[in-house]
Structure 1
Amino acid sequence: MSYSHLLLALSVVFVWGTNFVVIRWGLDGLPPFLFATLRFAFSALPWLLFIRRPAVPWQKLAAFGMLLGVGQFALLFLAMRADISPGLASLVIQVQVFFTIGLSLLTLGERVRGYQLAGLALAVAGLAVIATHLDATLTVKGLALVLAAAFFWACANMVVKTVGRVDMLGFMVWTSLFAVPPLFALSWWLEGPQAMASGVMHASVGVWACVLWQAIGNTLFGYGVWNWLLARHPAATITPMALLVPVFGMGASALSLGEPLPLWKLAAGALVLCGLVVIVVWPRLRTALLRTNA
């Protein structure tokens, strides 16, 4: 992976990590399914009026929109309403890395290399440190919902791997359209039209800013760039970068929401970073060593 692609990946995980605080702010003013509906509505409109539909079959556009919108974010928003803190949510959702690599092995025949396994082992050690310090801020319901959201994110990654190199901004705009109807139906059914109307009418400027950031910063930029990278690199190279999300997520939550950041969290973050260094730097180091010895 080139350094320019590495910087793109890092910018995405920074946006995604800090976004968990933004989600928490948004949920203070909107019910979860309505929040998700508005997020994807603004990801689709008005942009699809100006951006051409990519050369992707309709069923794949629909599948990705459903998996990302309903499968991942509806469940994540529901969990973050009261059952998991932003910092912990940013950690647990990263199980998608292992789901994605496993699905790639099963469906695409990709091969995981030894240095990637070593890097993943270090990162898993960091996640394990955090897991041993869970407290009342994480319920069983919250854990189950976020794990399910992680699985659906991995399934969405598999759809991306099958579409090849297409206009990923257009892909995100047009797939977002398919997320809106089922999310709206879920909000109408489970939250009720009265709560939906009240949420929209009484949402503050800050809450609407959270919705727009979800749509433009997190969805169009974040997933557009992420999917563009997935189409050009093996899943085992790209998806481990998302392990940085909890580092940014817990840091942003500590600074913005006062979530504690004790020494064990810093140690866990260091392990995750070391794992990423192994995955990203080792191929370049090995190539340099081979050239030197030659």
Structure 2
Amino acid sequence: MGQAISGEGQARGFGARDLIVVAAMNILWGLNIIAVKMAVSEIAPLTAGFLRQGLVLLVCLGSLRIIAGRMLALTVLGMLSGGAFYVATNLSLSITHNVGALAIAGQLGVPFSLLLAIVVFREKIHLPRIAGIALSVAGVGLLVFDPTMVNEIPGLALTALASFIWAICSLIQRRLIGVPVLTIYAWIGFWGSIILGTIALAVEPAAMRSIPHIPLKTFGWVVFSAVGSSVMGQGAMSWLLQRHPVSVVTPLTLASPVIAVFATGWYFDTPPTMLMLTGGAIAMIGVAIVTIRTARAGDTP
């Protein structure tokens, strides 16, 4: 997990161990939305975020170090990815009942990152990826017309904002090629803890005071989210990218939102509606097009 992020994987055969890692990564990311929803429901959204980032920092503390020439990027990434992203994400989950819809809306990060790459890096794209962006946005847009989503629009809007923040972070990570994953996450945990802790102390003082009394079961949701999703999930992705080309690895992550939609529907007894499934399918087709075409172009969406 401590290996550096790399844009070029080693050309090796894709064996049983790789498939196990892919499956574990998708399951961890797919089930994470359940863990976060339970955490923000039983603790408080910002306090839960503070605990998650604190745990990430604790796990990665040994890798927290100054990286010459990269500290500005690491600081901005930490403040956005560790702070702003989780403010938007946790608030969206705390006010949303049908969280499966958020798993679909969260896929906007992929087209958003490509659109930002076009603006910032003047990246040129052709018709297939343009169509992918359009399908992604259209699929998520369909959710607004689902009668069961009427009360979920604020949560969807916050998730869209979180996706945009994630897209910005993906561009910043392009400048961190060669920096160990655990070092990146140590700084994300560092800045996330400071930002979320400060905000939570101001708006959720009772929840912050109650941290020592959180039940072990409830704290387990935070542990799963911090260690399972953030550290192990991202570590698995990094490990795969060390062994295989980007064009092979990135499409394999597309299973996680599908797992999220059906897992949340089962766990929270909110089965997806036909319109939600249709919108999700359209969005995922668009995301798949953008992901696969971008990976083949030699970049990580």
TM range (shorter): 0.7 to 0.9
Q: How does 1:201-240 map to 2 (within 5 A)?
A: 201-224=212-235, 233=246, 238=250
Aligned: 1:256 with 2:267: yes
Tell me what 2:148 maps to.
135
Provide the rounded CA distance (Å) in 1 between the counterparts of 2:40 and 2:235.
24
| Contact kept? 1:75, 1:148, Cα under 8 Å | yes
Aligned: 1:146 with 2:159: yes
CA distance 1:122–1:177, change in 2 (3 Å): same
Aligned: 1:15 with 2:23: no
Tell me what 2:113 maps to.
100
AA in 1 matched with 2:228: G
Q: How does 1:146-165 map to 2 (within 5 A)?
A: 146-165=159-178
| Contact kept? 1:25, 1:210, Cα under 8 Å | yes
| Contact kept? 2:27, 2:256, Cα under 8 Å | yes
Provide the rounded CA distance (Å) in 1 between the counterparts of 2:294 and 2:101.
31
Provide the rounded CA distance (Å) in 2 between the counterparts of 1:277 and 1:75.
25
Provide the rounded CA distance (Å) in 2 between the counterparts of 1:260 and 1:58.
45
Cα deviation for residue 138 of structure 1 reads: 3.7
CA distance 1:74–1:276, change in 2 (3 Å): closer
Per mean C-alpha deviation after superposition, the further-off stretch among 145-154 and 78-87 is 78-87
1:107-157 deviation digits (Å, cap 9, x = unpaired): 123222333334444444543443431535644432332222111111111
Aligned: 1:70 with 2:74: no
Provide the rounded CA distance (Å) in 2 between the counterparts of 1:229 and 1:156.
21
Cα deviation for residue 174 of structure 1 reads: 2.8
Provide the rounded CA distance (Å) in 1 between the counterparts of 2:112 and 2:292.
23
Provide the rounded CA distance (Å) in 2 between the counterparts of 1:189 and 1:283.
42
Cα deviation for residue 277 of structure 1 reads: 5.7
Cα deviation for residue 276 of structure 1 reads: 5.6
CA distance 1:103–1:225, change in 2 (3 Å): farther
Q: Which runs of 5+ in 1 are unaligned?
A: 286-294
State the aligned residue count.
Answer: 279
What SS does the aligned partner of 2:158 have? helix
Per mean C-alpha deviation after superposition, the further-off stretch among 210-219 and 261-270 is 261-270
Per mean C-alpha deviation after superposition, the further-off stretch among 86-95 and 114-123 is 114-123
Provide the rounded CA distance (Å) in 1 between the counterparts of 2:57 and 2:152.
33
Q: How does 1:2-81 map to 2 (within 5 A)?
A: 12-49=25-62, 51=63, 53=65, 55=67, 57-81=70-94
What SS does the aligned partner of 2:42 have? coil
Provide the rounded CA distance (Å) in 2 between the counterparts of 1:281 and 1:104.
16
Per mean C-alpha deviation after superposition, the further-off stretch among 32-41 and 77-86 is 77-86
Cα deviation for residue 257 of structure 1 reads: 1.0
Identity of aligned residues (%): 23
What SS does the aligned partner of 2:148 have? coil
Provide the rounded CA distance (Å) in 1 between the counterparts of 2:228 and 2:235.
10
